[in-house]
C-alpha cells in the first residue's frame, strides 16, 4: 500500500491527525508526518530528504521549492493570524495588547525568524507597529527573545504549547504566536490571550508543495469541504 511521507509545519500538529485520518479513510492511502519549523523542513527537502508533500506555514517556502524543481505544484490551504499570550497576574486594568508589549518590566518571547514563519510574521507585526508608532516596532524586535522554532531552540515538551510552556517555566512573561492556539491557551487558568486588531495584525498564509505524483490526491483533498471544516475547527481560517 502507498504511504505518503509528509513534512508539516509544527503549528498544524493538533489539526493534522484529523485531516490525515479523513483522507486515509476516503482514499485508502496511508500517511506518515514529521513536524517542525517550516523553514527548517524546507532545508531538509533542499538537502535531499525524501518528501512527497510539504505543508508550510507560509507560501514562500513551497514556491521556492517549485522554482528549484523540487515541487511539481503549489497551492494555499489555510490562513492564520497572531495573538498575544501573557501571564494573567501581570495584566493591570489599564493594559491592552500594545501597552503590555511596551512595558519595560515584561519579557517578550517569539519564534525564530527565517527558521519559523511564526517569527517572520511576528517581525511583520513589528513593522506594522513601527509604521504607526515610530521606533516602537524596532524596540520590540530588539527586546524580543527568539526562544523557539530555531535550530538551537530548547524543545517544547510534547503536549505543551510554546506560549504556555515558556511562561510556565518563567522564560518569558508574554509570547506572540498563532491565533489558532488561542482556544487552547484560553483554557489555561494562569494565562490570558489578547487579540491583536486588524490594522496591526498579519495574515499568515499556509501553502503546500506537492513533491511527487503520489501526493496529488492529498493536495486535492486539502481544498475539500471535509478538510477545510477540520482546519476551521482547529482555529484556522479558509483561503479556498
Question: What pLDDT, on the 0 to 100 scale, is given for residue 158?
Answer: 86
Angle at 81 between CA 205 and CA 8, to 5 degrees: 50
Q: What is the pTM of this model?
A: 0.95
Question: What pLDDT, on the 0 to 100 scale, is given for residue 1?
Answer: 58
d(C-alpha 226, C-alpha 113), whole Å: 32
Q: How confident is the model at residue 239 (pLDDT cuts 50, 70, 90)?
A: confident
* Spatial CA neighbour of 77 closest among 230, 195, 187, 189: 230
d(C-alpha 166, C-alpha 108), whole Å: 10
pLDDT digits (tens, 9 = 90+) for 42-98: 999 999 999 999 999 999 999 999 999 999 999 999 999 999 999 999 998 889 999
Please give the share of the chain, as a percent, with pLDDT higher than 70.
Answer: 99
Instruction: Give the ranges where the chain is alpha helix by DSSP (H).
Output: 16-27, 38-46, 60-67, 97-102, 117-132, 136-143, 162-168, 182-186, 216-221, 225-233
Angle at 121 between CA 132 and CA 112, to 5 degrees: 120
pLDDT digits (tens, 9 = 90+) for 172-231: 999 999 999 999 999 999 999 999 999 999 999 999 999 999 999 999 999 999 999 999
Amino acid at each position: 500500500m502507498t504511504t505518503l511521507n509528509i513534512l508539516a509545519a509544527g503549528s498544524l500538529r493538533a489539526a493534522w491527525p484529523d485531516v490525515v485520518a479523513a483522507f486515509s479513510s476516503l482514499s485508502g492511502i496511508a500517511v506518515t508526518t514529521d513536524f517542525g519549523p517550516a523553514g527548517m523542513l524546507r532545508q531538509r527537502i533542499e538537502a535531499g530528504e525524501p518528501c512527497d508533500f510539504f505543508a508550510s506555514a507560509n507560501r514562500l517556502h513551497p514556491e521556492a521549492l517549485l522554482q528549484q524543481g523540487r515541487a511539481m505544484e503549489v497551492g494555499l490551504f489555510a490562513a492564520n493570524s497572531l495573538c498575544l499570550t501573557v501571564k494573567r497576574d501581570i495584566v493591570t486594568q489599564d493594559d491592552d495588547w500594545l501597552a503590555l508589549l511596551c512595558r519595560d518590566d515584561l519579557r517578550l518571547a517569539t519564534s525564530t525568524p527565517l527558521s519559523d514563519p511564526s517569527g517572520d510574521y511576528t517581525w511583520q507585526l513589528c513593522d506594522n507597529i513601527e509604521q504607526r508608532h515610530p521606533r516602537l516596532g524596532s524596540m520590540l524586535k530588539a527586546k524580543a527573545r527568539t526562544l523557539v522554532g530555531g535550530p538551537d531552540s530548547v524543545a517544547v515538551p510534547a503536549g505543551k504549547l510554546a506560549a504556555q510552556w515558556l511562561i510556565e517555566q518563567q522564560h518569558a512573561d508574554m509570547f506572540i504566536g498563532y491565533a489558532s492556539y488561542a482556544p487552547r491557551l484560553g483554557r489555561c487558568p494562569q494565562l490570558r490571550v489578547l487579540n491583536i486588531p486588524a490594522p496591526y495584525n498579519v495574515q499568515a498564509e499556509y501553502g503546500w508543495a506537492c513533491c511527487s505524483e503520489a501526493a496529488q490526491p492529498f493536495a486535492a483533498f486539502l481544498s475539500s469541504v471535509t478538510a477545510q471544516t477540520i482546519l476551521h475547527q482547529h482555529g484556522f481560517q479558509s483561503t479556498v
